[in-house]
């Protein structure tokens, strides 16, 4: 195992200022993660999503001197990618939608258990219903659901990514879960 792989993301970001090899490791670590996030959030074609992620890495590299290594690189990377998607939406004049693939079915269990719905009633019909309901939510709620349950980010990370207070994250997540629960009650 090389010593570069033992470094934290924040250490790599600090070292990237003087040596691009370290930034290459950050690209290796975050390329797939940010691509998955972009595809799920943007409904962009694979080529557009690749462009969004590539532009995100370019912005990260150009602004690496401004990164505060005492903060989370992950949140900073997600925030830049999030902002790139917003720029892409503006160019496309479209609104974000949450894309849920059938490989994400375990996420439904996580969402459902978090809103106190019996796991034993989560069959394919209800999973499909959750997918449909999530896609009808306001984009600000879709974003919170995506980051919390699909990207497994905590409240502080979500607040940093979206540049909103952690309290707002908690309120939006609570409202999103309440909306999901209300719409799913007829299944219980």
Q: Are residues 86 and 40 in the same domain?
A: yes
Q: Answer yes or no: do 34 and 77 share one domain.
A: yes
Asked if the model's pLDDT at residue 85 lies above 50, the reply is yes
Number of domains in the chain: 2
The verdict on 84 and 107 lying in the same domain is no
Q: Are residues 161 and 131 in the same domain?
A: yes
Give the residue with greater pLDDT, 4 vs 150: 4
∠ at Cα 143 (140, 147), nearest 5°? 145
CA distances from 24 to 19, 20, 28, 72, 138 (A): 9, 6, 6, 18, 36
Domain closes at, from 73, 92, 111: 92
> Could you tell me if residue 181 is inside a domain?
yes
Reading the block at residue 120, the tokens are: 């034993």
What integer best gives the mean pLDDT of the chain? Answer: 83
- What angle, rounded to 10 degrees, do the helices at 20-42 and 46-62 form? 140
Whether residue 76 sits in one domain with residue 132: no
- The CATH number of whichever domain residue 141 belongs to comes to 1.10.10.10
* Cβ burial, residue 17 (10 Å; 0-12/13-18/19+): middle
- Length of the chain in residues, anyone? 188
**Distance (Å, whole) CA 178 – CA 69:** 37
In the chain, the percentage of residues whose pLDDT exceeds 70 is 79
Distance CA 165, CA 99 (A): 25
Domain boundary among 92, 114, 143: 92
Domain containing residue 133: 102-187
pLDDT of residue 47: 94
Q: What is the pLDDT of residue 187?
A: 53
- pTM for the full model? 0.68
Contact (CB, 8 A) for 159 and 165: yes
Residues 6+ apart with CB under 8 A from 49: 35, 38, 39, 42
**Scanning the structure block, which residue is given the tokens 């503006």?**
90
The CA-based angle 87-65-154, given to 5 degrees, is 60
> Is residue 98 predicted with pLDDT exceeding 90?
no
Per DSSP, the chain holds a count of helices (H) and strands (E) of 9, 0
Quick check: 160 pLDDT over 50? yes
Residue 105 has pLDDT above 50, yes or no: yes
Q: Regarding predicted confidence, which is higher, 126 or 30?
A: 30
Residues 9 and 86 in one domain: yes
Final residue before a domain boundary, out of 67, 92, 117: 92
Residue 136 lies in a domain: yes
Assess whether 83 and 121 both reside in one domain.
no
Q: How many CB atoms lie within 10 A of CB 94?
A: 12
43 pLDDT band, cuts 50/70/90, is confident
């Amino acid at each position: 195992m090389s010593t570069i792989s033992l470094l934290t993301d924040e250490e790599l970001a600090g070292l990237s200022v003087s040596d691009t090899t370290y930034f290459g490791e950050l690209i290796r670590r975050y390329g797939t993660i940010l691509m998955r996030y972009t595809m799920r959030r943007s409904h962009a074609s694979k080529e557009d999503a690749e462009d969004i992620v590539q532009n995100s890495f370019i912005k990260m590299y150009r602004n690496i001197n401004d990164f505060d290594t005492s903060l989370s690189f992950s949140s900073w990377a997600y925030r830049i990618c999030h902002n790139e998607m917003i720029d892409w939406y503006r160019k496309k004049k479209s609104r974000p939608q949450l894309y849920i693939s059938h490989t994400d079915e375990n996420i439904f269990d996580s969402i459902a258990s978090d809103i106190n719905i019996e796991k034993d009633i989560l069959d394919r019909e209800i999973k499909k219903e959750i997918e449909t309901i999530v896609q009808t939510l306001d984009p600000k709620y879709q974003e919170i659901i995506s980051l919390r349950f699909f990207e497994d980010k905590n409240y502080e990370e979500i607040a940093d990514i979206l540049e909103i207070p952690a309290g707002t994250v908690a309120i939006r997540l609570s409202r999103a879960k309440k909306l999901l629960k209300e719409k799913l009650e007829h299944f219980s």
